Chain A
């Protein structure tokens, strides 16, 4: 099975993250950039499918030059090759434009299965897998907590707030995964050394036949107009028991949807 895993480089969600003051985009320059956490689960799932059914795993990344670090890190876990879409005109791309570029790149890769994280920790819009499937004209099985491959048939347990749904489709398809699906492996030292020799093909917008004015700031369908820092945490509500504290506590929990 020919599997492509979408990998995005994001600022480390464990550290302080900012938007830039000039164009309101995610500040990637000053941040410690890592593989989007959920994508590691997608890579692990791809490797498990390859180990069980054979085939090849390719990483597909759209991002600036420095995303190379994340591509090497992803390859050190075990995938065979990578494709890096890199072009200065891509800066500022919205989800719609990103899906256009990735769909064009996937057009060159002949994938049976496209795996990705259910969301990225910087954008968190969760729409890319659906957009991509729509553009490619294939099924989208999104938010999977379990994936079973049987020949050309895919069955996923799709996580919902109440439980899960069982959905299935024939390949080719896009499957996005949550972090409940597996436990990603660590790279091995041998894997890290091998990753340095694995092929990474770079593609520009021209290579993909996508015009620069369809992507980036120029082609963005949405834009962040302004931003401000999250206000500092305010002091909590203090309930003094004057006979009704229990009721007040329960009311608070209900308002906050804890119960």
Chain B
């Protein structure tokens, strides 16, 4: 079913049409094969970069397209409905441009056109092997030595590890706690910055994250983004937008599963009728469609708050929580609608179900989202 979208401008409509064309022609035909082989689609990301899709929410003067989050997120959603790994890659890349765009020095901002144009691919190194949720406890250390910071430690679950051209590295330059953390923009060619073997994952295999080891990697001091000790604030400021990116990914994935299940249920006949006409399945599909619509409405509502400059952290957490839980349910139910065929790799819904799971974990587990929401309630 075509999704009815209210869009703020004709330009936004054109952007979504372009996105749909790219998603249908460049993503859809390659997704299943690249996922099966675990091949990173760098060329697809270049194509999206040339089309202008890798810097949408940033100002035009630094190479972006000045699109509101409301529009940018619907681009992510459409990409996710054809290939989740690509949508997640675009979301992560967009997030990885945030520290420089919002806090970067004039010199650092000179990199933005190449970053936002997709010539340079970004990574975002916050999580560590011993913890992601408790980010303020990170242990990767950066010690000032002359004109450099010398970085040592290990980052974990880094999307684009080994493929990225630049890494935002959150590391400890001061004492314990959030105020001791700084953000460095490290070049991929930095000696001592060592991406490890990709993780062997349940899904998202075309863009599997990996650990990145820092073995006395020397990062020039002029690559400090913002001030020393400002790193945690930068990470947290980027996180809310990143959560909305994952919510949009979840809605796209769930929409793909819903569309596939509905098409199947209209064709597949049992007891002399299409199975969608059997109330047990018809109502299941109705519930799936409702959850997808509700999840979309929730992320768009949070995005519009962000676009209006209003606080939206709680709404972003709610959108991420609801949309990713909905995607898990909808994709699981899509497998159920297809029955035995749903459990087979000959249909994409088993892959959708495997992929949905990761969305409940990344960009803050859904337990962390509940923590964010409940603390906001407690504050009143």
Q: Which residues of A contact B (CB under 8 A)?
A: 185-193
Contact = CB atoms under 8 A, between A and B. Distances in A.
A192 B18 contact: yes
A188 B51 contact: yes
Contacts of B21: 186
A185 B50 CA distance: 9
Nearest to A189: B52
Interface string B41-65: 0000001001111001000000001
Contacts of B362: none
Given A186-B21, A186-B22, A192 B14 contact: yes
A185 B47 CA distance: 9
Contacts of B134: none
Nearest to B50: A188
B65 A190 contact: yes
B18 A189 contact: yes
A40 to B, nearest CB: 12
Given A186-B50, A189-B53, A193-B14, 13 more contacts: A186-B18, A186-B21, A186-B51, A187-B18, A187-B51, A188-B51, A189-B14, A189-B18, A189-B52, A189-B56, A190-B52, A192-B11, A193-B11
Q: Is chain A's interface secondary structure helix, strand, loop, or mixed overall?
A: helix
- From A189, A191, A192, A193, residue with most partner B Cβ within 10 Å: A189
A111 to B, nearest CB: 28
Contacts of A188: 50-52
A186 B47 contact: yes
A189 B50 contact: no
Nearest to B67: A189
A77 to B, nearest CB: 11
Interface in B76-135: none
28 contacts: A185-B50, A186-B18, A186-B22, A186-B47, A186-B50, A186-B51, A187-B18, A187-B51, A188-B50, A188-B51, A188-B52, A189-B14, A189-B15, A189-B18, A189-B51, A189-B52, A189-B53, A189-B56, A189-B65, A190-B52, A190-B65, A191-B52, A192-B11, A192-B14, A192-B15, A192-B18, A193-B11, A193-B14
Contacts of B14: 189, 192-193
**Main SS of chain B's interface residues?**
helix
Contacts of B22: 186
A191 B11 CA distance: 11
A63 to B, nearest CB: 21
Contacts of B52: 188-191
Nearest to B48: A186
Contacts of A186: 18, 21-22, 47, 50-51
A257 B361 CA distance: 58
A53 B47 CA distance: 24
Contacts of A185: 50
A157 B65 CA distance: 40
B78 to A, nearest CB: 13
A253 to B, nearest CB: 30
Contacts of B15: 189, 192
A192 B13 CA distance: 11
Contacts of A187: 18, 51
Contacts of B56: 189
B113 to A, nearest CB: 12
Contacts of A190: 52, 65
Nearest to B17: A192
Interface in B1-41: 11, 14-15, 18, 21-22
A187 B52 CA distance: 9
Nearest to B19: A189
A141 B51 CA distance: 32
Nearest to B14: A192
Nearest to B26: A186
Which 3 A-B residue pairs are closest in the complex by CB-CB distance?
A189-B52, A188-B52, A192-B14
A130 to B, nearest CB: 32
A186 B11 CA distance: 16
A193 B56 CA distance: 14
A193 B18 CA distance: 12
Contacts of B50: 185-186, 188
Nearest to B55: A189
A191 B22 CA distance: 15
B55 to A, nearest CB: 10
Interface in B206-257: none
A170 B290 CA distance: 65
A256 to B, nearest CB: 29
A193 B17 CA distance: 13
A185 B22 CA distance: 11
Nearest to A188: B52
B317 to A, nearest CB: 30
A192 B16 CA distance: 12
A186 B53 CA distance: 12
Nearest to A187: B18
A188 B11 CA distance: 12
A197 to B, nearest CB: 12
A187 B14 CA distance: 11
A187 B50 CA distance: 9
Nearest to B22: A186
Interface in B138-169: none
Nearest to A191: B52
Contacts of A192: 11, 14-15, 18
Contacts of B11: 192-193
A186 B15 CA distance: 12
A78 B287 CA distance: 45
A199 B376 CA distance: 54
B82 to A, nearest CB: 15
A30 to B, nearest CB: 19
A156 B14 CA distance: 36
